[in-house]
Chains A and B, each alone.
Chain A
Amino acid sequence: MARRILLFAAGVVTVVGLTGLMLTRPQRVDEAQLAGISPDLTRGESVFYAAGCASCHSAPDASGDEKLVLTGGRRFQTDFGTFVAPNISSDPEAGIGSWSALDLANALIHGTGPKMEHYYPAFPYTSYTNMTAEDIVSLHAFLNTLPAVATESDPHEIGFPFNIRRSLGGWKFLYLKPGWVVQEDLNDQEQRGRYLVEALGHCAECHTPRNSLGGLKRDLWLAGAPNPNGKGRIPGLTTNQLDWSEADIAEYLKSGFTPDYDSAGGEMVEVIENTSRLTDSDRLAIAAYLKAVPK
């Protein structure tokens, strides 16, 4: 009898373990999803700005054209340790110049590296997971036109247990959820805004509060959050907190001027360096979407 129980228990452990391994292994994109898509460099450039790649991956304090040199090295202090943005320049060794479009798609959609390793969600694949294949293929081509830098990436400074990358599979199982948060009926402009905010712009990564495991509280979407850098609070963008007109929001994203003609501060200055490169219609789309986010 005891032996039977033991066998049964071993069976349960095996099944649970195998299921766990299956669920937590790094995922990849089916190559067929990228088949037949030809890259468009203009599109790739606009995706690059809308997705804010340079805000994290350019060298610390880079400005102007230096922002096109994706050396990495910016440090992000979090409750889980310090993440260091890697080199994603076109250098084939130190950067990602040898990556295929499929490698980039795996990274953006599943947070999976070319060696089948999990990336940490400091890289906002939880947002990028909703990127279209056309945008990824075009971004890949645009990134390859940017300068190569041979600077090696610094390792993250993450302590136990967060340094066990395998455990990120469990985190992804819980919090990497493809699909839109705002599911209401949206018109074409609001849908474009949703793509820019929820996927490329990854606005929620700062403007939505997180739970103790670092997962976004989707029921408090864009409701504002504590500033991970310590001081102050990241403001909420829901209509009951942000009463700016759509024109006000679009102007802020272009010139950085608030409705009082103060200029943007903090991290938003870097964000506006990107959104100022978008078209007027994309900035208005973001504004239209924000007006449609439930309180």
Chain B
Amino acid sequence: MMKKFSIFTAGLLSVAVIGTAIAHESENPAVKARTSIMQLYAFNLGALGGMAKGDVEYDAEAATRAANNLVVLTQIDQSAMWPAGSDNASDPSSRALPAIWENFADVGAKGQAMADAAVAMQTAAGQDVEALKAAMGDLGGACSACHKAYRAPKE
């Protein structure tokens, strides 16, 4: 009886876990591509942030490599990654607000601000840790400016 019960519970649990996984990952390749770019941003920001916080010793070369990657990420042509119907109202796994599709010009301007901040980081990263710290603040501001306007809060 006990065994049957635990198999039943395990079954329920796995259904629940699979259910959660499905709810969080989009079926839409465009949304997956967007999310992947964000993860690449996070990975490279992590390398810079570790140095800014003093968790990792400052290394001009490693910092420059990470900053170069950020610049490359801002240069990816995302025009095919934002098809109609990939906002959070149509796809619950996305946090992209429908306002994006009504304000492409402003989204573009905010993207340009991010690109400028990444270029500034490229210079700062090779300079010294104080310059890196300052550039980190501006990068964060550029990320937040877009997220504040166009990203839904976490559930």
Q: Which residues of A contact B (CB under 8 A)?
A: 63, 231-232, 245, 247-248, 250-251, 254-257, 260-266, 269, 272-273, 276, 280
- Give Cα A265–Cα B144 distance, bound, in whole angstroms: 7
Contact across chains for A247 and B144 when beta carbons are under 8 A apart: no
In the complex, which of the residues A231, A248, A269, A280 contacts B144, with contact meaning CB atoms closer than 8 Å? Answer: A269
Interface centre among A247, A261, A264, A280 (most CB of B within 10 A): A261
User: Are A276 and B41 touching (Cβ within 8 A)?
Assistant: no
B139 → chain A, closest Cβ, in Å?
A: 7
Q: Contacts A248-B53, A254-B136 given; indicate if A264 touches B42 (C-beta within 8 A).
A: no
Residues of chain B within 8 A (CB-CB) of A264 are 144, 147
Residue on A nearest B147 in the bound complex, by CB: A263
Contact pattern, B 94-123, Cβ under 8 Å of A = 1, otherwise 0: 000000000000000000000000000000
A residues less than 8 Å from B154 (CB atoms)? 232, 265
> Are the C-beta atoms of A255 and B136 separated by less than 8 Å?
yes
15 new A-B contacts at CB < 8 Å, known A251-B53, A255-B136, A257-B143: A245-B53, A245-B55, A251-B136, A257-B49, A257-B136, A261-B41, A261-B46, A262-B42, A263-B140, A265-B151, A265-B154, A266-B153, A273-B141, A276-B137, A276-B141
Contacts of B45 in A (CB 8 A): 257, 261
Cross-interface CB contact of A247 among B42, B53, B140, B147, cutoff 8 Å: B53
Give every chain A residue within 8 A of B139 (Cβ-Cβ): 255
Chain A positions within 8 Å of B143 at CB level = 256-257, 263
Residues of A within 8 A of B3 (CB): none
**B24 on interface, CB distance cutoff 8 Å:** no
Contact check, A250 vs B53: say whether CB atoms are below 8 A apart.
yes
Provide the residues of chain B in CB contact with A260, threshold 8 Å. Answer: 42, 46
Q: List 30 A-B contacts (CB under 8 A).
A: A231-B153, A232-B153, A245-B55, A247-B53, A247-B54, A247-B55, A248-B53, A251-B53, A251-B136, A254-B136, A254-B137, A255-B49, A255-B136, A256-B140, A256-B144, A257-B136, A257-B140, A261-B41, A261-B43, A261-B45, A261-B49, A263-B143, A263-B144, A264-B144, A265-B148, A265-B154, A269-B148, A272-B140, A272-B144, A276-B140
A256 & B49 in contact (Cβ 8 Å cutoff) = no
Which A residues touch B61, using CB under 8 A? none
Taken residue by residue from 117 to 155, chain B's Cβ proximity to chain A (1 for < 8 Å, 0 otherwise) reads as: 000000000000000010011011101110110010111
Q: Which residues of B contact A (CB under 8 A)?
A: 41-43, 45-46, 49, 52-55, 133, 136-137, 139-141, 143-145, 147-148, 151, 153-155
Determine whether the beta carbon of A255 is less than 8 Å from that of B153.
no
A231 to B88, CA, bound (A): 16
Contacts of A232 in B (CB 8 A): 153-155
Min CB distance B66 to A, Å, is: 11
The residue among A250, A255, A266, A273 with the most chain B CB atoms within 10 A of its own CB is: A255
Cβ-defined contact, A261 with B137, below 8 A: no
A245 and B52 alpha carbons, distance in the complex (Å): 14
Considering the chains assembled together, what is the distance between the CA atoms of A264 and B140 in angstroms?
9
Given A261-B41, A261-B42, A262-B42, A255 and B151 contact (CB-CB distance below 8 Å): no
A251 touches B52 (CB 8 A): yes
Cα distance, A265 to B145, chains bound together (Å): 10
Nearest A residue to B152 via CB reads A265
Please indicate the chain B residues that have their CB under 8 angstroms from the CB of A262 in the complex: 42
Give the chain A neighbours of B42 by CB distance below 8 A. 260-262
**A276 CA / B45 CA spacing, docked (Å):** 18
User: In the bound complex, what is the Cα–Cα distance between A251 and B54 (angstroms)?
Assistant: 10
Docked complex Cα distance between A13 and B54 (Å)? 66
Closest 8 CB pairs of A and B: A255-B140, A261-B42, A247-B53, A263-B143, A261-B45, A256-B140, A269-B148, A256-B144
Closest Cβ of chain A to B40, distance in Å, is 11
Shortest Cβ gap from B28 to chain A (Å): 21
Given A232-B153, A255-B139, A257-B140, are A265 and B53 neighbors across the interface (CB < 8 Å)?
no
Q: Which residues of A contact B49 (CB under 8 A)?
A: 251, 255, 257, 261
